[in-house]
A and B are shown apart, each in its own frame.
Chain A
Amino acid sequence: MRIFRYTFSLFMFAWLTAGAQTDNLDNGGIRLGFDISRIAVPFLEEGRVEYDGSVDLRINKDLYPVIEIGWGDFETEGMNFLYRSTGFSLRTGIDKNYLKKDNVNNMGMFFAGVRYGVSFFKHESTDLKISDPYWGDFSGAIPMKNMNAHWLEFSTGIRAKIFNNIYLGWSLRGRLLLYKSDDLNMSPNYIPGFGKVNGRTNLGFRYSVFYQLPL
């Protein structure tokens, strides 16, 4: 319920700010973004820390190529072990804006887009214990191993100017895992940038603040 209230207030904020678009005179088409919803992640899920930023660029009235860079670290307690996965992600793609703009310099958006994501990360298991009443309990570890993964990420959302060069917006992400490194001992439980691995698909949410470079 707490999660619900938290997200609802974000929507209300987006809703209110969306109506507050003002004219502006700059021509800059490059925006830097920082995903502020990541700040809440460690509070919602213990052991999970993420940072995420983006650069997007307007190439014409409706098309915005984007690069997103993230870092993630996830530690969790499994049944008889501790698991840790940590590393970087890079997503590149393009968003198309469907919002009829009232001002060419306003980069407010209702968008849908696609990204190709790749992550380079490491994972390990420690404190691994298997109980064996006959031969005696076993304890061990799976040493840290370099892994990588690729996925397709579909995004949609809204973005609104709140004042001068500052924008706020949220987006919903649907991800489709295309490849993950093989590990005979364990399949990755968490891929930075992709999230928890539970099958091949995953849903995500981002709420970001953007700064439009004054060019």
Chain B
Amino acid sequence: MDFRRVCFLYITGFCLLFFSCESEKICEQSTVSKLNAGFYLVQDSIPEAASVDSFTVYGIGRADSLIYDQANSVSSFVLPLSHSVDTTGFVLTLGTETDTITFLYSRELHLLSMECGFATYYYIESVDNTSNVIDSVRVVNEKVTTGDDENIQIYL
């Protein structure tokens, strides 16, 4: 092939390449890590999803700010863990009964993407709870991320 023809082919190829410019990207995913919890009842030794009425939650130390306020027909809910300390507790009221749940975890900053930024991932190490209405708490997925996977099951 003659040198000038080669050049011509290359030039056209390059022009096409540089037209495909990079555009500004926007974040298209959830950036908030949250602990996903569900209510369950054991009936005939088979766990079944349950729902509760008059459900109120606040974080220990934040009684002035309710996360759920007298919510009805709640079968699953989300809790915000602290970004700054390795333990977060919550006060749950189901009807007239009140329990506390405290989570101990390790934290890790995780870059989702340049356009979405950093989120905190949590790894639940242990759960402490009182048992006025709660029977037990089971950790089914110790990794708390921005996803919707259930992390804990609360048995009533």
Contact = CB atoms under 8 A, between A and B. Distances in A.
Interface of A: 3-4, 7-8, 11, 14-15, 18-19, 76, 78-81, 83, 99, 110, 125, 128, 130, 132, 134-136, 138, 140, 142, 157-158, 172, 184-187, 189, 203, 205
Contact of A79 (B15, B59, B117): B117
6 contacts: A11-B10, A11-B14, A79-B27, A79-B114, A134-B59, A184-B108
Top 7 A-B pairs, shortest CB-CB distance = A79-B117, A186-B111, A138-B83, A80-B117, A135-B82, A78-B114, A11-B11
Contact of A7 (B6, B7, B14, B80): B14
A184 B3 contact: no
B17 interface: yes
A130 B122 CA distance: 14
Given A19-B4, A110-B6, A134-B65, A125 B82 contact: no
Interface string B31-46: 1000000000000000
Interface of B: 3-4, 6-7, 10-11, 13-15, 17-19, 21, 27, 31, 59, 62, 65, 67, 80, 82-84, 88, 108-111, 114-120
A83 B3 contact: no
